[in-house]
Amino acid sequence: MSVESTAPGAPAPDPDPAIGAELKTTLAGLADVLIPAGEGMPSGGEVVVGRDALGAVLRIRPELAGGLHELLEAVRGEDPAAALGRLESDDAAAFGLLTTVVAGGYFFDRQVREALDYHGQQAVPIETLEPPDYERDGLLASVVERGPIYRPTPPE
Amino acid sequence: MVDQNGTADVLIVGAGASGAVAAKRLAEEGFDVVCLEQGDWPDYSKARAGHPDFELTAARDWSWDPNERAWTADYPVDDSDSDITALMWNGVGGGTVVYAAHWQRNMPSDFRVRSLDGVADDWPLSYEELEPHYVRVERDWGVSGLAGDTAFPPGEGPPMPPVPLAEMGKRVAKAHNELGWHWWPAPNAIATTPYGRLHACVQRATCLRGCAEGAKASVDLTYWPDAVELGAKLVTDARVKRLEVDSAGRVTGATWVDADGKERFQGAAVTLLCANGIGTPRLLLLSATESQPDGLANSSGLVGKRLMMHPFGTVVGLFEDPIGSSQGVWGQHLHSLEFYETDADRGFVRGAKWGLQPTGGPLAMTMAYPWGEENSVWGPDFHREIRRRLGHSAMWGFIFEDLPEEANRVELDPERTDSDGIPAAKIIYEMSENSNRMIAFHEQRARESLEAAGAYDVIVAPQIRATGWHLLGTCVMGDDPETSVVDRWGRAHDVPNLYVFDGSTWPTSSGMNPTATIAAMALRFADRLIETRRNQKGAS
């Protein structure tokens, strides 16, 4: 499993046990339509259900479990593409919840992040450059040459 | 009721930008200051910038919308009759906890809108009068930037060097030079070097969701520790219910509710309201008396009127090669004020400030904003679209000036209350035709800017409601008691020991992020209070 472990300090209860195997299959079907496999990347279902990114998401965002369960129950047995079309047009909140879980789980997966060459919001200390970047190639000098652009305070 | 802190020299309601500046300045001068803040200190253990769960948790733990958060410290704001949703942070630090830290002074013309453009009102002070306060507050606050910006009169600049232009900034700067358009290294309330209590920024581009590094200058990190060390008392989880008034019409202090629901009283000789453009008029309306049935300090009828919230816009450019735009400051790398001043040929008055920003991590690439529902990533093109956006996109964000209109207003909600049973706020706000024309013009110019910078595709973000970060104008400042709520020093015309120090006092909104001017104005007001302390009339 390549999914990151729960972040330090975050609560780590079991994922909602009500999202059982059948609903996970439903979720995988939806996730595969939202994020199909291709261009060297796995599908949404493979990552979110197959690699259990869902478990990680629900440990971090346990408040999403109830709504997710409800929407999966509502679309169980439907054609995934048709169900997604209906959700997107009729129930923006449910569609938003679903895409947060699917894409949130997908991009939480270490292999996916590495394949995207995305390594999180990294620390990049500010370098002191001499001359500063804004002075190179006459960048700022050009602005100064164009002169003031403000309207001064008019006399009383 | 318990008055645990005795009668203070000064009571401040609200621990955001203006309250913090006032508390520190007054405590420096030996005033006995008590601040009542309805929320608590920010919990930075939830600022997850360096962790893989950042994008999953940020919108939940650092939401800007009080209705969405619905935390105990929040009060509902009914925005069903508003084109824009009001955003705020109710806790120590106020909006500075989640602001983008764009530190924009107003320009000289912002103080002379009536004189120069024939609309709205002039401010009862000039840029030149406020400029020394900008300089002082920028040193205290911790601001980075570069003096000499050609959009402002010459003068002293911020104390720290500017943030890097980054690759996106270099491209846009070069393009603007070719177009002959203004740009300048952006002013930000972000430390680029260790500064006072602030650490140097490490460019994680997470400023809007609680700075995990302690590099963004929010007043919970900067002003409040100093103010408390100087003797100011900051009481958290303290929700003010109403201001109390004596028989002479002076405010004696505030009745407030503690975390256990117990009602208390804080007495003070002078009271300062620093609760933002919705919270401040809400409190004045809640404090109506038999002799002032329309709300305290409201003989003009203007308390709550003239609400301005700054329509906001975004235009994104996509670049073929990587520009590192998942990182940076957010914040702004550079700003442009090329189209800030009025040009009558454009079909509207006033203008907007542009700030160049990164676009964030992969989850942000899937969102309806700024990308637009018509550009949905879901389905067969998902991977191509994510790779097109992630690290390859830069965006201009615009602050559009909205003009004051009395129909845009804050009222007490006749039905809903906060968790202590105090009437909530309701806002009524309609975007004007002037704003709509301004938005269309600027979005087209921004498209030209990004195309000149090499963008092969440009996306104009949809107008959405959840952009009301700036809450201004609802207790307008002026010299005439019939047409203003407070005087040029923030003092209520009707109540000689009651002041408004926050952005409620603004006669016009400017097209700038307002924190710099809110802070400078609070410092100016506080200085005046200190100078005139011997003449100040307290409660009987």
> Quick check: A36 and B56 CB within 8 A?
no
Residue A87 lies inside a defined structural domain of this protein = yes
B 38-57 → A contacts, CB under 8 A: 45, 48-57
Helix (H) or strand (E) holding B452: helix B433-452
Asked whether residue A105 is domain-assigned, the answer is yes
CB spacing of B107 vs A33 below 8 angstroms: no
Q: Is B202 close to A142, i.e. CB distance below 8 A?
A: no
Q: Give me the pLDDT at residue A12, please.
A: 44
Q: Which candidate in B378, B387, B479 is best for mutational testing of the A interface (most A CBs within 10 A)?
A: B378
Task: Give the tens place of pLDDT for each residue, A89-134.
Answer: 999 999 999 999 999 999 999 999 999 999 999 999 999 888 999 9
- What's the average model confidence in pLDDT over A52-73? 96
Residue A136 inside a domain? The answer is no
Q: Do B185 and A140 touch (CB under 8 A)?
A: yes
Instruction: For residues B481 and B484, give the distance between their C-alpha atoms in angstroms, rounded to a whole number.
Output: 5
Give a yes or no: residue A147 inside a domain: no
CB contact under 8 A, A154 and B115: yes
Question: Number of A:B CB contacts under 8 A?
Answer: 177
Tell me whether residues B378 and A126 touch, CB distance under 8 A.
Answer: no
Test A84 with B164 for CB contact under 8 angstroms: no
Q: Nearest CB to A149: which of B182, B382, B383?
A: B182
Output the pLDDT for position B535. Answer: 75
B161 in contact with A, Cβ within 8 Å? yes
Q: With an 8 Å Cβ cutoff, are B203 and A4 in contact? A: no
Q: Which helix (H) or strand (E) holds B36?
A: strand B33-36
Chain A interface, best mutation among B165, B179, B182, B386, by max A CB count within 10 A:
B386
Query: Which residue among A39, A108, A151 sits closest to B384, beta carbon to beta carbon?
Result: A39
Q: B383 and A38 in contact by Cβ < 8 A? A: yes
CA distance, residue B200 to nearest chain A CA (Å) = 8
Distance from CA of A22 to the nearest CA of B (A): 23
Helix (H) or strand (E) holding B254: strand B251-257
Q: Is residue A133 part of a domain?
A: no
For the beta carbon of residue B500, count every other beta carbon within 10 angstroms. Answer: 31
Looking at residue A129, its pLDDT comes to: 86
Residues of B in contact with A113 (CB under 8 A): 52, 362
Q: Is residue A36 part of a domain?
A: yes
CA of A38 vs chain B CAs: smallest distance (Å): 7
d(CA B98, CA B206): 10
Tokens describing residue B61: 């733990």
* Residue of chain A whose alpha carbon sits nearest to that of B333: A134
What do you get for the CA distance between the two ends of chain A, in Å? Answer: 73
* pLDDT score of A17: 52
Tell me the shortest Cα–Cα distance from B271 to chain A, in angstroms. Answer: 33
Mutation target among A84, A87, A127, A153 for the B interface, most CBs of B within 10 A: A153
B60 close to A (CB below 8 A): yes
Give me B102's structure tokens: 């764009």
Residue A92 belongs to domain spanning: 21-115
Cβ within 8 Å, pair A118-B390: yes
Q: Is residue A144 part of a domain?
A: no
8 Å CB contact of B53 and A108: yes
Rounded Cα gap, residues B521 and B502, in angstroms: 8
Q: Is B375 in the A-facing interface, judged by CB distances under 8 Å? A: no
Closest CA–CA distance from residue B50 to any residue of chain A (Å): 6
Report the DSSP beta bridge partners of residue B411.
Answer: B426
Nearest by CB to B150, which of A117, A122, A146? Answer: A146
**pLDDT one-digit tens code per residue, A7-59:** 444 444 444 557 999 999 999 999 999 999 999 999 999 999 999 999 999 99
Residue A49's nearest CA partner among A70, A66, A68 is A68
Per CATH, the number for B7-42+54-535 is: 3.50.50.60
Residue A56 located in a structural domain: yes
ipTM of the complex: 0.94
Q: What is the pLDDT along chain B (540 residues), one digit of tens a residue?
A: 546 678 999 999 999 999 999 999 999 999 999 999 999 999 999 999 999 999 999 999 999 999 999 999 999 999 999 999 999 999 999 999 999 999 999 999 999 999 999 999 999 999 999 999 999 999 999 999 999 999 999 999 999 999 999 999 999 999 999 999 999 999 999 999 999 999 999 999 999 999 999 999 999 999 999 999 999 999 999 999 999 999 999 999 999 999 999 999 999 999 999 999 999 999 999 999 998 999 999 999 999 999 999 999 999 999 999 999 999 999 999 999 999 999 999 999 999 999 999 999 999 999 999 999 999 999 999 999 999 999 999 999 999 999 999 999 999 999 999 999 999 999 999 999 999 999 999 999 999 999 999 999 999 999 999 999 999 999 999 999 999 999 999 999 999 999 999 999 999 999 999 999 999 999 999 999 999 987 776 765
Residue B447, number of CB atoms within 10 A of its CB:
17
Whether the CB of B371 is below 8 Å from some CB of chain A: the reply is no
- From chain B, the residues in CB contact with A152 under 8 A are 108, 153
Confirm or reject contact between B235 and chain A (CB < 8 A): no
Total structural domains within chain A: 1
Question: What type of residue sits at position B312?
Answer: F
Q: What is the DSSP string of B463-516?
A: P-S--B---B-TT-B-S-TTT-SB-TTSBBSS-TTEEE-SGGG-SS--SS-SHH
Q: Answer for the pair B241, B286: CB distance below 8 angstroms, yes or no.
A: yes
| Chain A residues lying within 8 Å of B180, measured CB to CB | 146
Q: Report CB contact under 8 Å: A133, B165.
A: yes
Residue B49: closest CA among chain A residues belongs to which residue? A121
CA-angle at B119, arms to B425 and B344, nearest 5°: 125
Rg of chain A on CA atoms, in Å: 24
**Which residues of chain B make contact with A124, given a CB cutoff of 8 A?**
202-204, 327
Rounded Cα distance, A95 and B226, in Å: 46
* CB neighbourhood size of B230 (10 A): 17
Structure tokens at B526: 């506080």
For chain B, domain boundaries: 7-42+54-535
Q: Does B464 touch chain A (CB under 8 A)?
A: no
Distance from the B481 Cα atom to the nearest Cα atom in chain A, whole angstroms = 22
CA distance B52 to chain A (A): 6
Q: Enumerate the residues of chain B whose CB falls inside 8 A of the CB of residue A134.
A: 146, 162, 165, 173, 185
What's residue A15's pLDDT? 47
> B200 — contact with chain A (CB < 8 Å)?
yes
Interface test with B, best of A58, A134, A144 (most B CBs within 10 A): A134
Q: Which residues of A touch B126 (CB under 8 A)?
A: 153
Dig out the tokens for A144 from the structure.
Answer: 């100064």
| C-alpha atoms less than 13 angstroms from C-alpha of A104 in its C-beta half-sphere | 22
Using DSSP, how many helices (H) and how many strands (E) does chain B show? 12, 16
Chain A, nearest residue to B190 by Cα? A126
